[in-house]
């Protein structure tokens, strides 16, 4: 899969939100890499960039083989703060560049968002970041960037599940060549819905595999989080089957606009 600037991005990734430093992170990263994961997603807000950096080094994972993502914390937004915090991120991750760096949250102050974006553009032009993007941005917030940016966002990482499926946002991103990534694709582990269970039984796959495959078939990169080896293996084993169109539509029709986090159109920081 390619971003609009030609940079290749894996079709699935591993999120490390709430993973603890030391053995937990080291084992998860080692097992994920051995299972075939090549995208690792962290954020300044997670407070574990340094732990991920250590895990990648200790497991001798070749830097050029992975796609490494982080995001600027809300408290670090603004031009100067973004640039300073980005270089701290590089030190913590023990790398000379990132494959993607995102604005973690839009907030409600346009000037702050735009100055933060200018910092990402600067870092991109300097060669420190291979792709730049945003997270949790809605259409009007993307339009704000597109109206004034020099370099358009290449990624938008959003919560995307059958219960939060915004077709207008998805279509907008596709039209603007903004790659969508899905955080929280496994409903935070709450996959008991009978309709999802029924579909998973039909394909002889787990509910998690159905949810991940549903994203992938829409051209969306899911970033599930787990430290469990069997689930790591299960989550990446989603490339040997196709969900039929009628079942894709059933999953799409489950939308309830149900968020498990704040509303990006209202929450500020």
User: What confidence tens digit (pLDDT) does each residue in 230-255 have?
Assistant: 999 999 999 999 999 999 999 999 99
**Pairing label, strands 67-72, 100-103:** parallel
pLDDT reading at 144 higher than 90? yes
Taking only the tens place, the pLDDT of each residue in 110-134 is 999 999 999 999 999 999 999 999 9
Sheet with 100-103: list strands edge to edge.
Answer: 14-15, 39-41, 67-72, 100-103, 132-135, 155-159, 179-183, 221-223
Distance, CA of 103 to CA of 76 (rounded, Å): 10
pLDDT for 22 equals 97
Report the C-alpha gap between 238 and 15 in whole angstroms.
17
pLDDT for res 169: 98
Q: What percent of the chain has pLDDT over 70?
A: 100
Q: How far apart are CA 11 and CA 182, in angstroms?
A: 11
Strand partners, 58: none
pLDDT for 240: 97
pLDDT of 38 > 90? The answer is: yes
Q: Taking 90 as the threshold, does the pLDDT of residue 189 lie above it?
A: no
User: How far from 212 is each of 11, 116, 163, 260, CA to CA, in Å?
Assistant: 10, 31, 14, 18
pLDDT of residue 61: 98
pLDDT band at 109 (very low <50, low <70, confident <90, very high): very high
Residue 265, both tokens: 């159109």
Handedness of CA 48, 54, 59, 64 (dihedral sign): positive
Please indicate whether residue 128 is annotated as part of the active site: no
pLDDT at 269: 87
| Run of H or E including 207 | helix 207-216
Whole-number pLDDT of residue 142: 98
The confidence band for 99, taking pLDDT boundaries of 50, 70 and 90, is very high
Residue 126 C-alpha from the chain's centroid: 23
Q: Which residue has the tokens 């701290």?
A: 88
Averaged confidence pLDDT in the chain: 97
Reference 113, options 88, 131, 138, 89; nearest CA is 138
> Using one digit for the tens of pLDDT, what is the confidence trace for 76-93?
999 999 999 999 999 999
Q: Give the pLDDT confidence of 23-33 residue by residue, as tens digits.
A: 999 999 999 99
Find out whether 119 and 86 touch, Cβ atoms under 8 Å. yes
| Side-chain-facing half-sphere of 47: CA atoms under 13 Å | 3
Residues 6 or more apart whose Cβ sits within 8 Å of residue 91: none
Active-site residue among 46, 79, 97, 128? 46
58 pLDDT exceeds 90?
A: yes
Within its chain, how far is the Cα of 29 from the centroid?
16
Residue 177 — pLDDT band, cuts 50, 70, 90?
A: very high
Place of tokens 């549903």: 214
């Amino acid at each position: 899969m390619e971003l609009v600037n030609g940079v290749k991005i894996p079709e699935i990734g591993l999120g490390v939100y709430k993973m603890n430093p030391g053995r937990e992170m080291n084992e998860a990263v080692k097992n994920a890499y051995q299972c075939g994961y090549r995208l690792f997603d962290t954020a300044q807000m997670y407070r574990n960039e340094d732990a991920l950096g250590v895990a990648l080094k200790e497991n001798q994972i070749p830097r050029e083989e992975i796609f490494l993502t982080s995001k600027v914390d809300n408290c670090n937004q603004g031009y100067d703060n973004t640039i300073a915090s980005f270089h701290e991120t590089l030190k913590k991750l023990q790398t000379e560049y990132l494959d993607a760096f995102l604005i973690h949250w839009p907030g409600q102050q346009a000037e702050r968002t735009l100055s933060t974006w200018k910092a990402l553009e600067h870092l991109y032009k300097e060669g420190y970041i291979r792709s730049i993007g945003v997270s949790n941005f809605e259409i009007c917030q993307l339009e704000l960037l597109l109206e004034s940016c020099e370099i358009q966002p290449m990624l938008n990482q959003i919560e995307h599940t059958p219960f939060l499926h915004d077709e207008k946002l998805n279509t907008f991103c596709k039209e603007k060549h903004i790659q969508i990534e899905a955080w929280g694709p496994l409903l935070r582990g709450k996959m008991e819905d009978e309709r999802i269970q029924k579909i998973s039984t039909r394909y002889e796959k787990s509910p998690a595999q159905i949810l991940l495959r549903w994203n992938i078939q829409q051209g969306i990169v899911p970033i599930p989080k787990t430290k469990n080896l069997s689930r790591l293996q299960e989550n990446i084993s989603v490339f040997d089957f196709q969900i039929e169109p009628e079942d894709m539509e059933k999953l799409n029709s489950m939308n309830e606009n149900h968020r498990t986090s704040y509303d990006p159109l209202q929450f500020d920081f």
